[in-house]
Amino acid sequence: MLSEQAKQAIEIAKTIKKQQSNALKPEQVNFLRADADKNTGVPIPENMRLETVTNPAKGEHYILNNGNDNTVLLFIHGGAYATGSVKSRRKLCFELLNRLNCDGFSVDYRQWPEARHPAAQEDVLAAYNFLKQKYNHILVFGESAGATLALTLTLQLKFDNAKLPDKIALFSPVITQVNTVASEYLMQERDPMLLGAGDPVPYFEHPYAKDPLISPIYGDFTGFPPVMINCGSEEVKYDDSKILNYLCQKDGVDVTWNVWQDLFHVFVLFDMPETTQALNKIANFLK
């Protein structure tokens, strides 16, 4: 049974869904980013300090007081490669860092309309390489488009025969930019957060390309580190998680798939008991 807070979150999510359209305009992107930063951005807690990094990577580096200085969490926000931001996802990142007792880096990757693929891929790779010089162990968490980037980062590292992350936690991943899997249609009315079966996001110039660095559904996951997938049972991206779980199993990956009953796309952005449960489970996996 859903908590009262979850029921309230569903009503809030419905108002977010009403702001969406299949023809996103640049001025809408600027408004949505600023609105999210204003309403959900939080200050840096007393138990950590912020180092703003601009070169060679760009993002916010969070240093925990007395934290594990050998391990770092690379945090990759979502937002359809357009509307997300580092500031608006701070609370989610801090919740994970405090559970893990390690430093974190939230990468400020380029998005549409300022940039197009592979800008975000390049920025996430730069952040990973920056952290590799400072830490022995890198954990990766991504939500929505950030989960896609967590996968494409690891696929690229594998192509380059580079060291892979220790573990990867994904929330509501998107594995194909072509929105034609069954749940895009079946869950349209049930997902309070996202529209289904829409046009590809404008960030990709060639969204139909069979390129694993665009749509990880075409990737080879052999040799991947342990992966945890989380999604809501009601989201239009449900089948993305289902297919990814199958592909990981097929390629011999140590994969865990959690489906959160009656919940929606990236529900961990909301304060509710179900979020606490999910974050505890993710932190236990990453540890």
- Please give the biggest Cα pair distance in the chain: 48
Q: Could you report the per-residue pLDDT of 234-286, keeping only the tens digit for each?
A: 999 999 999 999 999 999 999 999 999 999 999 999 999 999 999 999 999 99
Q: Return the exposure string of 145-183: e unless at least 16 CB atoms fall within 10 Å of the residue's CB, then b.
A: bbbbbbbbbbbbbbeeeeebbebbbbbbbbbbbebebeb
Reply yes or no on whether the pLDDT at 164 is more than 90. Answer: yes
Task: Return the closest-CA partner of residue 45 out of 119, 79, 96.
Answer: 96
Give the separation between CA 248 and CA 100, rounded to whole angstroms: 25
Q: Could you report the per-residue pLDDT of 11-61, keeping only the tens digit for each?
A: 999 988 887 766 788 998 999 899 999 999 999 999 999 999 999 999 999
Reply yes or no on whether the pLDDT at 126 is more than 90. Answer: yes
Q: Could you report the per-residue pLDDT of 197-230, keeping only the tens digit for each?
A: 999 999 999 999 999 999 999 999 999 999 999 9
Backbone angles phi, psi at 167, to 5 degrees: -150, 155
- List the end-to-end C-alpha distance of the chain, in Å, as a whole number: 29
Q: What is the pLDDT of residue 92?
A: 98
Residue type, 156: Q
Q: Is omega for the bond preceding 43 within 30 degrees of 0, making it cis?
A: no
CB-CB contact of 110 with 29 (8 Å)? no
DSSP label at 88?
G
Q: Could you report the per-residue pLDDT of 65-108, keeping only the tens digit for each?
A: 999 999 999 999 999 999 999 999 999 999 999 999 999 999 99
Backbone angles phi, psi at 143, to 5 degrees: -125, 135
Tokens linked to 46: 């007393």
Reply yes or no on whether the pLDDT at 7 is more than 70. Answer: yes
Backbone angles phi, psi at 70, to 5 degrees: -95, -10
In the numeric block, the tokens 């925990």 are attached to 64
Give the separation between CA 185 and CA 32, rounded to whole angstroms: 25
Average pLDDT, the chain: 96
DSSP label at 25?
-
